[in-house]
Protein backbone atom coordinates (compact mmCIF):
# COMPACT_ATOMS: atom_id res chain seq x y z
CA UNK A 1 0.00 0.00 0.00
CA UNK A 2 1.32 3.44 -0.80
CA UNK A 3 2.01 5.87 1.97
CA UNK A 4 -0.88 7.81 3.45
CA UNK A 5 -0.43 11.51 2.65
CA UNK A 6 -1.64 14.20 4.98
CA UNK A 7 -1.91 17.90 4.31
CA UNK A 8 -1.18 19.81 7.52
CA UNK A 9 -2.63 23.33 7.52
CA UNK A 10 -1.39 25.35 10.47
CA UNK A 11 0.10 28.85 10.69
CA UNK A 12 1.59 28.31 14.14
CA UNK A 13 5.07 26.87 13.48
CA UNK A 14 5.59 25.05 16.83
CA UNK A 15 2.21 23.31 16.51
CA UNK A 16 2.89 22.49 12.87
CA UNK A 17 6.26 21.00 13.81
CA UNK A 18 4.70 18.94 16.58
CA UNK A 19 2.20 17.50 14.12
CA UNK A 20 4.69 16.80 11.34
CA UNK A 21 7.20 15.24 13.76
CA UNK A 22 4.45 12.94 14.99
CA UNK A 23 3.42 12.03 11.46
CA UNK A 24 7.00 11.35 10.42
CA UNK A 25 7.57 9.12 13.46
CA UNK A 26 4.54 7.05 12.46
CA UNK A 27 5.53 6.77 8.83
CA UNK A 28 2.88 9.05 7.37
CA UNK A 29 3.70 11.20 4.37
CA UNK A 30 2.82 14.86 4.69
CA UNK A 31 3.00 18.31 3.21
CA UNK A 32 2.29 21.59 4.95
CA UNK A 33 0.53 24.87 4.33
CA UNK A 34 0.72 27.95 6.54
CA UNK A 35 -2.35 29.80 5.29
CA UNK A 36 -5.69 29.20 3.61
CA UNK A 37 -4.66 30.12 0.09
CA UNK A 38 -1.70 27.76 0.23
CA UNK A 39 -3.95 25.07 1.72
CA UNK A 40 -6.50 25.21 -1.10
CA UNK A 41 -3.71 25.12 -3.71
CA UNK A 42 -1.96 22.20 -2.01
CA UNK A 43 -5.23 20.28 -1.70
CA UNK A 44 -5.87 20.73 -5.42
CA UNK A 45 -2.36 19.98 -6.67
CA UNK A 46 -1.34 17.12 -4.32
CA UNK A 47 -4.62 15.34 -3.72
CA UNK A 48 -3.87 14.36 -0.08
CA UNK A 49 -5.61 11.44 1.68
CA UNK A 50 -6.54 13.55 4.71
CA UNK A 51 -6.41 17.25 5.60
CA UNK A 52 -5.65 18.41 9.13
CA UNK A 53 -6.92 21.96 9.25
CA UNK A 54 -6.43 24.73 11.78
CA UNK A 55 -9.43 27.07 11.77
CA UNK A 56 -7.65 30.29 12.76
CA UNK A 57 -5.57 31.11 9.69
CA UNK A 58 -4.03 34.50 8.86
CA UNK A 59 -5.64 35.07 5.46
CA UNK A 60 -9.00 33.33 5.63
CA UNK A 61 -11.19 31.40 7.99
CA UNK A 62 -10.58 27.66 8.03
CA UNK A 63 -14.30 27.17 7.38
CA UNK A 64 -13.83 28.95 4.06
CA UNK A 65 -11.01 26.52 3.21
CA UNK A 66 -13.42 23.63 3.87
CA UNK A 67 -16.07 25.18 1.60
CA UNK A 68 -13.61 25.66 -1.25
CA UNK A 69 -12.09 22.20 -0.98
CA UNK A 70 -15.55 20.63 -0.71
CA UNK A 71 -16.58 22.20 -4.01
CA UNK A 72 -14.52 19.53 -5.77
CA UNK A 73 -13.26 17.00 -3.21
CA UNK A 74 -14.56 14.55 -0.59
CA UNK A 75 -11.17 14.23 1.11
CA UNK A 76 -11.62 13.66 4.88
CA UNK A 77 -10.97 16.86 6.83
CA UNK A 78 -10.14 16.89 10.53
CA UNK A 79 -10.41 20.34 12.01
CA UNK A 80 -7.93 21.35 14.68
CA UNK A 81 -9.14 24.36 16.55
CA UNK A 82 -8.15 26.38 19.56
CA UNK A 83 -11.70 27.64 19.75
CA UNK A 84 -13.76 25.76 22.22
CA UNK A 85 -16.99 27.40 21.10
CA UNK A 86 -19.49 24.86 19.85
CA UNK A 87 -20.63 27.20 17.09
CA UNK A 88 -17.20 27.13 15.43
CA UNK A 89 -17.10 23.37 15.41
CA UNK A 90 -20.64 23.26 14.08
CA UNK A 91 -19.84 25.72 11.27
CA UNK A 92 -16.85 23.59 10.30
CA UNK A 93 -18.84 20.34 10.40
CA UNK A 94 -21.73 21.88 8.49
CA UNK A 95 -19.29 23.08 5.84
CA UNK A 96 -18.18 19.48 5.39
CA UNK A 97 -15.47 18.68 7.95
CA UNK A 98 -15.45 15.07 9.16
CA UNK A 99 -14.17 15.42 12.69
CA UNK A 100 -12.57 17.89 15.06
CA UNK A 101 -9.87 18.09 17.69
CA UNK A 102 -9.74 20.92 20.20
CA UNK A 103 -6.37 22.38 21.16
CA UNK A 104 -4.52 21.43 23.23
CA UNK A 105 -4.75 17.87 21.95
CA UNK A 106 -2.52 14.87 22.61
CA UNK A 107 -0.60 13.25 19.75
CA UNK A 108 -2.22 9.93 20.70
CA UNK A 109 -5.62 11.48 20.14
CA UNK A 110 -4.54 12.78 16.75
CA UNK A 111 -3.16 9.38 15.72
CA UNK A 112 -6.35 7.66 16.87
CA UNK A 113 -8.47 9.95 14.70
CA UNK A 114 -6.23 9.28 11.72
CA UNK A 115 -6.56 5.53 12.20
CA UNK A 116 -10.36 5.87 12.23
CA UNK A 117 -10.25 7.73 8.92
CA UNK A 118 -7.83 5.20 7.40
CA UNK A 119 -10.06 2.32 8.43
CA UNK A 120 -13.10 4.03 6.99
CA UNK A 121 -11.35 4.65 3.69
CA UNK A 122 -10.13 1.07 3.39
CA UNK A 123 -13.59 -0.25 4.21
CA UNK A 124 -15.10 1.99 1.56
CA UNK A 125 -12.74 0.42 -0.96
CA UNK A 126 -13.66 -3.11 0.14
CA UNK A 127 -17.40 -3.09 0.02
CA UNK A 128 -18.48 -1.26 -3.09
CA UNK A 129 -22.20 -2.10 -3.26
CA UNK A 130 -23.46 -1.23 0.20
CA UNK A 131 -26.37 -3.65 0.26
CA UNK A 132 -25.71 -4.67 3.84
CA UNK A 133 -24.13 -2.62 6.59
CA UNK A 134 -22.46 -4.40 9.50
CA UNK A 135 -21.04 -2.79 12.62
CA UNK A 136 -20.37 -5.03 15.61
CA UNK A 137 -23.64 -6.79 16.36
CA UNK A 138 -25.66 -4.31 14.32
CA UNK A 139 -26.70 -5.18 10.80
CA UNK A 140 -28.75 -3.13 8.35
CA UNK A 141 -30.12 -4.79 5.24
CA UNK A 142 -30.76 -1.74 3.06
CA UNK A 143 -32.53 -3.66 0.31
CA UNK A 144 -35.02 -5.26 2.69
CA UNK A 145 -35.19 -2.26 5.03
CA UNK A 146 -34.53 -4.50 8.03
CA UNK A 147 -32.32 -3.96 11.07
CA UNK A 148 -30.84 -6.75 13.17
CA UNK A 149 -29.16 -6.61 16.54
CA UNK A 150 -27.44 -9.72 17.90
CA UNK A 151 -29.03 -11.69 15.08
CA UNK A 152 -32.58 -10.65 15.93
CA UNK A 153 -34.65 -8.23 13.96
CA UNK A 154 -35.49 -4.99 15.74
CA UNK A 155 -38.47 -2.93 14.72
CA UNK A 156 -37.87 0.72 14.02
CA UNK A 157 -40.29 3.45 13.03
CA UNK A 158 -39.62 5.02 9.60
CA UNK A 159 -37.99 8.04 11.22
CA UNK A 160 -35.78 5.92 13.47
CA UNK A 161 -34.76 3.87 10.44
CA UNK A 162 -33.86 6.99 8.48
CA UNK A 163 -31.83 8.32 11.39
CA UNK A 164 -29.97 5.04 11.78
CA UNK A 165 -29.18 4.77 8.06
CA UNK A 166 -27.91 8.35 7.99
CA UNK A 167 -25.57 7.68 10.91
CA UNK A 168 -24.46 4.33 9.42
CA UNK A 169 -23.70 5.81 6.00
CA UNK A 170 -21.56 8.42 7.73
CA UNK A 171 -19.93 6.11 10.25
CA UNK A 172 -17.02 7.76 12.04
CA UNK A 173 -18.17 11.23 11.11
CA UNK A 174 -19.69 13.72 13.54
CA UNK A 175 -23.05 14.85 12.16
CA UNK A 176 -24.42 18.14 13.41
CA UNK A 177 -27.99 18.57 14.64
CA UNK A 178 -28.72 20.76 11.64
CA UNK A 179 -27.30 18.25 9.15
CA UNK A 180 -29.38 15.46 10.65
CA UNK A 181 -32.66 17.35 10.85
CA UNK A 182 -32.26 18.64 7.29
CA UNK A 183 -31.42 15.20 5.95
CA UNK A 184 -34.23 13.40 7.73
CA UNK A 185 -37.05 15.94 7.72
CA UNK A 186 -36.00 18.61 5.24
CA UNK A 187 -35.19 22.26 5.68
CA UNK A 188 -38.44 23.20 7.43
CA UNK A 189 -37.38 21.25 10.51
CA UNK A 190 -34.02 22.90 10.65
CA UNK A 191 -32.67 23.05 14.18
CA UNK A 192 -35.61 21.40 15.86
CA UNK A 193 -33.10 19.79 18.19
CA UNK A 194 -35.78 18.96 20.74
CA UNK A 195 -37.60 16.62 18.37
CA UNK A 196 -34.36 15.11 17.20
CA UNK A 197 -33.41 14.28 20.78
CA UNK A 198 -36.72 12.51 21.34
CA UNK A 199 -36.32 10.32 18.24
CA UNK A 200 -32.69 9.66 19.07
CA UNK A 201 -33.63 8.56 22.57
CA UNK A 202 -36.19 6.02 21.30
CA UNK A 203 -33.75 4.76 18.65
CA UNK A 204 -31.04 4.26 21.25
CA UNK A 205 -33.40 2.44 23.57
CA UNK A 206 -33.82 -0.19 20.87
CA UNK A 207 -30.17 -0.22 19.86
CA UNK A 208 -28.09 0.21 22.96
CA UNK A 209 -28.51 -2.78 25.21
CA UNK A 210 -25.53 -2.23 27.45
CA UNK A 211 -26.11 -0.48 30.77
CA UNK A 212 -22.53 0.82 30.61
CA UNK A 213 -23.50 3.48 28.11
CA UNK A 214 -23.96 3.77 24.37
CA UNK A 215 -21.79 1.62 22.09
CA UNK A 216 -23.01 2.61 18.68
CA UNK A 217 -24.12 6.21 18.85
CA UNK A 218 -21.97 8.81 20.54
CA UNK A 219 -23.39 12.14 21.69
CA UNK A 220 -21.36 15.29 21.06
CA UNK A 221 -22.96 17.67 23.51
CA UNK A 222 -24.16 20.85 21.83
CA UNK A 223 -22.91 19.62 18.44
CA UNK A 224 -24.53 16.41 17.24
CA UNK A 225 -24.07 12.64 17.01
CA UNK A 226 -21.68 10.10 15.54
CA UNK A 227 -21.89 6.37 14.92
CA UNK A 228 -18.68 4.77 16.12
CA UNK A 229 -17.08 1.68 14.65
CA UNK A 230 -17.59 -1.20 17.08
CA UNK A 231 -15.08 -4.05 17.02
Positions that interact with Ca ion (CB under 5 A): 11-12, 54, 56
Q: Is the dihedral of CA 50, 53, 58, 63 positive or negative?
A: positive
Find the distance separating the first CA and the last CA of the chain, reported in whole Å: 23
Calpha distance 40→49 (Å, rounded)? 14
**Which is closer to Ca ion, CB of 36 or CB of 224?**
36
Q: How far is the CB of 11 from Ca ion (least distance, A)?
A: 5
Please report which helix (H) or strand (E) contains residue 101, including its range.
strand 99-102
Residues 10 and 19: beta-carbon distance below 8 Å? yes
Calpha distance 62→68 (Å, rounded)? 10
Residues 42 and 7: beta-carbon distance below 8 Å? yes
Calpha distance 221→88 (Å, rounded)? 14
**Which is closer to Ca ion, CB of 29 or CB of 56?**
56
**Which is closer to Ca ion, CB of 69 or CB of 163?**
69
Calpha distance 226→162 (Å, rounded)? 14
Q: How far is the CB of 25 from Ca ion (least distance, A)?
A: 23
Q: Are strands 29-33 and 50-54 parallel, antiparallel or unpaired?
A: unpaired
Residues 8 and 31: beta-carbon distance below 8 Å? yes
Q: How far is the CB of 159 from Ca ion (least distance, A)?
A: 40
**Which is closer to Ca ion, CB of 48 or CB of 62?**
62
Q: How far is the CB of 97 from Ca ion (least distance, A)?
A: 16
Q: How far is the CB of 57 from Ca ion (least distance, A)?
A: 6
**Which is closer to Ca ion, CB of 83 or CB of 169?**
83
Q: How far is the CB of 213 from Ca ion (least distance, A)?
A: 34
Residue nearest to Ca ion (CB): 56
Calpha distance 65→53 (Å, rounded)? 9
**Which is closer to Ca ion, CB of 14 or CB of 151?**
14
Amino acid sequence: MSKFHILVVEDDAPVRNLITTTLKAHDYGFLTAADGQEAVMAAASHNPDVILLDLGLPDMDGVEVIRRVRSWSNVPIIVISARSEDSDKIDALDAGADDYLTKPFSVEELLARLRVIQRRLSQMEDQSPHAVFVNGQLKIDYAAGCVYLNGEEIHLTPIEYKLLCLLARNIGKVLTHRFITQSVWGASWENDVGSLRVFMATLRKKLETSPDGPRYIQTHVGVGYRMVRVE
